[in-house]
């Protein structure tokens, strides 16, 4: 066994459900999935460990999160190997090593973000302060696209604020969830971080458990709505990071060559399987053809293949379900007469869930490839003549996670940007996140914020002490 395989074999069960590499179909390990009835025992552990964890000083919890970050770095290649083999992303580029490094960065930043007691009033007669207290047990539920970093986004602030965590990874990327929790958990007291492997019914049981005071949920809009329903009886606090269908608007003064790389990675990061990827591109008629050509030139250069091959920058889709979604949307676009600039011709007989990098031009705004979240490597490029029309189209969907405006004139881009209904608007880039900057959705993309001081507040109970 190679050294980098050690962690995978540690978290893999001796038997159970076979887990297959999405690039090759090869069995890489096994998972023993839990049942809804097993959730209570996992929550028991978190409940038992919570008072002692909360009783530690903030300095102690910070020190442990920093040690967890060091441990992530010490096991970086093993972690990258797990997520590459299970999720399919490439080791290089914005792939597995990038995701693992982000885990360490977020753990450190979350540890180092100050959250002092706020003095609200101090007028000689009254002294009022705002403290942030632990909630208790946090239930953390993750999707399969960025299975390690999203888990860290939920776990790190929760632990910092004195909560204990029960984490349920996606059933598609359980080994990645187990691996990152194993490495973080090595430096933590028992019971502070518990992982339960399971499907949606296990997630629902976690949400329904009355002892879970807060649910951090990242996933689809449809499941987010179920989480709201299942949590109603507990009035649990919720952070919902849901799906997106991010628009990018290219203004007529943009330089097509200069923006092509940013547009490409904004859309194709992790093969488009990214919540805040650019999923609909609106381009001014005056430079439409140049932008399509520049994007096609950029797209053609990016190698796609098995994630473990050091030369590749894009891998397969993670699962057949998502492959079917992308294929359906592209086939529909073709049937509507849209122009396939490149891609759109998968080989259904080839091994793995590879879908070619696909650019679809001259597509109508009403096409499902534009209106639905494709979550894959197929970008629709829509032509506009009036920027008011582009803004209306950009805002014309139920979701609003991110959006971007591309222009040689930053102020002009900002003017348009602030009119877009999205939790984050980027100017001349798309999708970048930063642990110091809050991130969250508008409309059906969810509510609540992650990262920075807002992210810490979201996993605690505000308490006013006045007198």
Among 8, 107, 141, 278, binds ligand NAD (CB under 6 A): 141
Q: Which stretch binds ligand NAD (CB under 6 A): 109-117, 220-228, 260-268, 455-463?
A: 220-228
- Determine if 441 is a binding residue for ligand NAD (CB under 6 A): yes
Helices within 253-375 (DSSP H only): 256-268, 288-300, 320-335, 368-371
**Minimum CB–partner distance for residue 209 and ligand NAD (Å):** 11
Q: Which is nearer to ligand NAD, 136 or 224 (CB)?
A: 224
Among 21, 86, 99, 171, binds ligand NAD (CB under 6 A): 171
Among 53, 264, 375, 426, binds ligand NAD (CB under 6 A): 375
- From 246, 175, 293, select the one nearest 403 (Cα to Cα): 246
First CA to last CA distance, the chain: 64
- Determine if 157 is a binding residue for ligand NAD (CB under 6 A): no
**Minimum CB–partner distance for residue 177 and ligand NAD (Å):** 9
Taking residues 354 to 373 in sequence order and writing x for each that binds ligand NAD by CB under 6 A, - otherwise, the string is -------------------x
> Read out DSSP for 44-92?
HHHHHHHHHHHHS-HHHHHHHHHHHHHHHHHTHHHHHHHHHHHH---SS
> How many CB atoms lie under 10 A from the CB of residue 27?
11
- Determine if 244 is a binding residue for ligand NAD (CB under 6 A): yes
- Determine if 218 is a binding residue for ligand NAD (CB under 6 A): yes
- Determine if 99 is a binding residue for ligand NAD (CB under 6 A): no
Partner residues linked to 381 by β-bridges: 281
Map residue 13 onto helix, strand or coil: coil
Q: Which stretch binds ligand NAD (CB under 6 A): 12-20, 66-74, 126-134, 212-220?
A: 212-220
Q: Which are the contacts of 325, defined by CB distance < 8 A and separation ≥ 6? A: 374, 375, 376
90 alpha-carbon distance from chain centroid: 17
Q: What is the spatial distance between Cα 448 and Cα 302, in angstroms, rounded to a whole number?
A: 35
- Determine if 207 is a binding residue for ligand NAD (CB under 6 A): yes
- Determine if 242 is a binding residue for ligand NAD (CB under 6 A): yes
**Minimum CB–partner distance for residue 31 and ligand NAD (Å):** 13
Q: Which are the contacts of 458, defined by CB distance < 8 A and separation ≥ 6? A: 157, 237, 239, 448, 449, 450
Interactions with ligand NAD, residue window 316-355 (CB under 6 A): none
- Determine if 243 is a binding residue for ligand NAD (CB under 6 A): yes
Q: What is the spatial distance between Cα 430 and Cα 428, in angstroms, rounded to a whole number?
A: 7
Q: Which is nearer to ligand NAD, 263 or 317 (CB)?
A: 317
Among 77, 99, 182, 241, binds ligand NAD (CB under 6 A): 241
Query: Which are the catalytic amino acids?
Result: 241, 275
**123-126-132-137 Cα dihedral, nearest 10 degrees:** -170
Q: Are 283 and 333 in contact (CB under 8 A)?
A: no
Partner residues linked to 195 by β-bridges: 167
**Minimum CB–partner distance for residue 377 and ligand NAD (Å):** 15
Q: Using CB under 6 A, list all residues that contact ligand NAD.
A: 141-145, 150, 168, 170-171, 199-200, 203-204, 207, 218-220, 223, 226-227, 230, 241-244, 275, 373, 375, 401, 441, 445-446
């Amino acid at each position: 066994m190679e050294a980098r395989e050690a962690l995978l074999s540690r978290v893999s069960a001796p038997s159970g459900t076979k887990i297959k590499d999405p690039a090759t179909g090869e069995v890489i390990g096994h998972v023993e999935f839990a049942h809804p009835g097993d959730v209570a025992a996992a929550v028991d552990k978190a409940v038992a460990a919570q008072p002692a964890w909360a009783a530690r000083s903030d300095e102690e919890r910070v020190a442990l999160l920093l040690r967890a970050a060091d441990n992530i770095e010490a096991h970086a290649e093993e972690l990258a190997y797990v997520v590459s083999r299970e999720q399919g992303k490439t080791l290089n580029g914005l792939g597995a090593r990038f995701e693992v490094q982000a885990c360490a960065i977020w753990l450190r930043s979350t540890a180092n973000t100050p959250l002092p007691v706020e003095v609200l009033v101090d007028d000689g007669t009254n002294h009022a302060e705002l403290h942030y207290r632990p909630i208790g047990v946090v239930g953390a539920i993750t999707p399969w696209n960025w299975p390690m970093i999203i888990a860290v986004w939920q776990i790190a602030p929760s632990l910092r604020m004195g909560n204990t965590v029960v984490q349920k990874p996606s059933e598609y990327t359980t080994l990645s969830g187990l691996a990152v929790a194993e490495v973080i958990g090595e430096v933590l007291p028992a019971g502070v971080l518990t992982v339960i492997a399971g499907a949606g019914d296990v997630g629902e049981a976690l949400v329904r458990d009355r002892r879970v005071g807060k649910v951090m949920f990242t996933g689809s809009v449809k499941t987010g709505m179920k989480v709201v329903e299942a949590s109603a009886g507990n009035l649990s606090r919720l952070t919902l990071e849901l799906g997106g269908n991010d628009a990018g608007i290219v203004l007529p003064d943009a330089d097509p060559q200069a923006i092509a790389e940013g547009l490409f990675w904004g859309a194709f990061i992790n093969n488009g399987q990214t919540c805040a990827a650019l999923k609909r591109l609106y381009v001014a008629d005056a430079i439409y053809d140049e932008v399509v050509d520049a994007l096609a030139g950029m797209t053609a250069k990016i190698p796609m293949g098995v994630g473990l091959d050091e030369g590749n920058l894009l891998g397969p889709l993670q699962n057949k379900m998502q492959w079917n979604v992308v294929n359906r949307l592209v086939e529909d676009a073709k049937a509507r007469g849209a122009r396939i600039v490149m891609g759109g011709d998968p080989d259904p007989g080839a091994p793995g869930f590879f879908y070619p990098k696909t650019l679809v031009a001259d597509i109508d705004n009403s096409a499902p490839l534009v209106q639905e979240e494709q979550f894959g490597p197929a970008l629709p490029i829509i032509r506009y003549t009036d920027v008011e029309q582009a803004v209306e189209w950009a805002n014309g969907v139920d979701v609003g996670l991110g959006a971007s405006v591309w222009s040689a004139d930053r102020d002009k881009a900002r003017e348009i940007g602030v009119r877009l209904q999205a939790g984050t608007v980027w100017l001349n880039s798309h999708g970048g996140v930063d642990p110091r900057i809050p991130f969250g959705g508008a409309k059906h993309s969810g509510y609540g914020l992650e990262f920075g001081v807002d992210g810490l507040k979201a996993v605690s109970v505000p308490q006013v002490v006045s007198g």
